[in-house]
Every structure is written in structure tokens, then in C-alpha cells.
Amino acid sequence: MTEITRRALPALAALALPTVARAQAAAPAPAAAKLTLMLDWFVNPDHAPIIIAQEGGHFARAGLEVRVVAPADPNDPPRLVAAKQADLGVYYQKNLYLAVDQGLPLARVGTLVATPLSTLTVLQDGPIQKLADLKGKKIGFSTAGFEEVAADTILGSVGLSSKDVTLVNVNFGLSSALMSRQVDAILGGFRNFELHQLALEGRPGRAFYPEQHGMPIYDELIYVAHKDRVKDATLRRFMDAVESATTFLINNREESWKMFIAGPRKELDNELNRRAFADTADRFSLSPAALDRNRYDRFARFLHGRKMIGSVPPVDSYAVELPPA
């Protein structure tokens, strides 16, 4: 190659760049893949990684357009996902086994909140100072299906059972039922929400944690998809985006809080949600796509031992790690 040729190459390359740039600019950007995600209930701090992924552009950078829907009925998400009317649903590990046992074609594909949140809570200044004091008392709960097993397990740690108490369905008025002394304790109130709610009302609670009283440790909130979608790379891109958003949240908590209460969620800007947001941050799964197979199998065996499900299903039949995108 001559010296003249070597000198000419940069100039020729420079002349070519605008043409390449014009060709790249003219190429249409690939359309974002659309996903519909059903929450388990109204938007609250438990959903912070999802909101941060949306507001912070993590979904967009993953080539996703995610529609986040709060259900009118908290029983809707698993049904709609099973019917392929939603791509993903936020659900509960505890309830997944019951749904699968009843024939719903669901699979856990990710974890949102990786620790238990549910509690058995009493008033701090009330007559119940220890679990044994609940004998002959009333315990309020919100959703039927799991309360008897939970009560049997927790009370069983002190030699009692659900037969030693009266279970009262208070719908979703857990805190108000406890504060008004309609019941002596509430089962299912979240440690990151109801405990703060009680404290702000000037009626602080005392929590008994199920996992310290016989209940196996479990993921509180998970993502479920139809079993036909467990090899869908689009869902893995969703999990990777949520992972990125969760790490951002952990590193930038105040900025994440501001993103969480922005725009249509301004009504969430109150002390209760601020406390719940801070209390939940360390409970989010930092690797939402990762699966702890032992945790899932252990809980299945627990439920089977209490005759809540007919058999112990293979973990792969209801919980998976999505393949790389």
C-alpha cells in the first residue's frame, strides 16, 4: 500500500460515514414486544421494582412495552394468566400450589418479594402478650383458603390449634378490625404495611412471624405465567429489566421513591407508603429469575403433609428458571 493510499483511506472513510449514518437512521427501530402484567392488588410499595422498571426506562431498554394492570378482584391474576388473557401475574408462592393442584396451567417464572411478609399480629397494649394467650380468642383474616393451616402451624408451636380459637373473616379490614377489638389478632397482615398502619394510628402492634413458628420460609410475591410460556425469551427480558430496576432502587432509594410517587401515583405520597417503601426495599429479590428449588419443594411437602394438596408435584412442573434471552 502506498503512502498516498494510506493518507487517502481516512478521507474516504470520512466520506463514507454520512452514507452509513443515513442508512442506519433510515432503518426502522424494532417494535417493542408488548406484555400485560396483572398485579395482585392495587399499586403499593410491594410493586416498586415494576414501577421503577417502567419509569426508569429499564423495560424500554429491554425492548419491552409493559402494560401494568391493577385487578378489580385480587383473585383475577392467576385466572387471567391461565386463560392467556395476561402474560404475567403477580401472585403468592403459598397459593400457587393450590392453584396448580386445582388444574390451573401456571408456572412460577420469577420472584418479586423473596421473604415472607405475612404475620399474626396483636395490639402491643392488648391482653395478648404471647401466643398461648390466644386460646379462646378471635383471629381475623382476609382471604379464605390458607388461614386454618397457618393458624394450626403458628399456634401449634405452643400446643394449640385453630380449634382453640375462632377464625373471623373481616374481608380486607384487618387493621380496623384489630383496633376496634372486633378481633383479638389478625392473620395475614403484612409486616411492611399493617404494622406501620397500626403505629401511625397510635395503636402499635406486636407481630408473631410464621417462619419463626413452624412455617417453612417462602417467597411472598412471585411472577406467574402460563406453562406454555416457560421458554419465552421475552419473559426473561422482563426479569432482566426488573433485576436492573431493583439494583437501581437499592442504590438510589430516595430517587426511586420520587419515581414511585410520580404522576398518576401522587396519591401514594404519604407517610404510610413512605415507611412501607423503605421497609420493603431489602426484601425484593435481587435475582428475580433465579429459582431456589429446595425452597419450593420444601413448601410443597409442608402443604401435602397438611392435606392442602393431593400430592407433591415435581418442582419443574410449576416453577422454572427462564432461559437466557
Cell of 169: 373473616
Distance CA 180, CA 307 (A): 35
Structural domains for the chain: 33-115+219-317 (3.40.190.10), 118-212 (3.40.190.10)
Distance CA 322, CA 230 (A): 6
pLDDT, one tens digit for every residue, the chain (325 residues): 443 333 333 333 333 334 434 444 445 556 889 999 999 999 999 999 999 999 999 999 999 999 999 999 888 999 999 999 999 999 999 999 999 999 999 999 999 999 999 999 999 999 999 999 999 999 999 877 788 899 999 999 999 999 999 999 998 899 999 999 999 999 999 999 999 999 999 999 999 999 999 999 999 999 999 999 999 999 999 999 999 999 999 999 999 999 999 999 999 999 999 999 999 999 999 999 999 999 999 999 999 999 999 999 999 999 999 999 8
Residue written as cell 401435602?
304
pTM of structure: 0.89
Q: In this structure, are residues 90 and 38 in contact, taking their beta carbons and an 8 Å threshold?
A: yes
Distance CA 309, CA 104 (A): 13
Q: What DSSP line would sit under 10-45, residue for residue?
A: HHHHHHHHHHHHHHHHHSPPPPPEEEEEE-SSS--G
